Amino acid sequence: MSLFISQAHAAAAPAPQGGGMEMVIMLLVFGFVFYFMIYRPQAKRVKEHKGLMSALSKGDEVLTQGGIVGKIIKVSDDKDFIVISIAEGTEVTVQKAAVNAVLPKGTMKNL
Q: What is the CATH number of the domain that holds 32?
A: 2.30.30.140
16 belongs to a structural domain = no
Number of domains in the chain: 1
Domain that holds residue 90: 23-110
Query: Is the dihedral angle over the CA atoms 66, 69, 73, 75 positive or is it negative?
Result: positive
Whole-angstrom Cα distance, residue 104 to residue 17? 63
Q: Tens digits of per-residue pLDDT, 70-83?
A: 999 999 878 889 99
Please check whether residue 52 lies inside any domain of the structure: yes
Band of pLDDT at residue 98, cut at 50, 70 and 90:
very high
Is 35 within the bounds of a domain? Answer: yes
On whether residue 10 sits in a domain, the answer given is no
Task: Kindly write down the DSSP assignment for every residue of 4-55, as one continuous string.
Answer: TSPPP-PPPPPPPPP-SHHHHHHHHHHHHHHIIIIIHHHHHHHHHHHHHHHT
Determine if the pTM surpasses 0.95.
no
SS3 content of the chain, % helix, strand, coil (to 5): 35, 25, 35
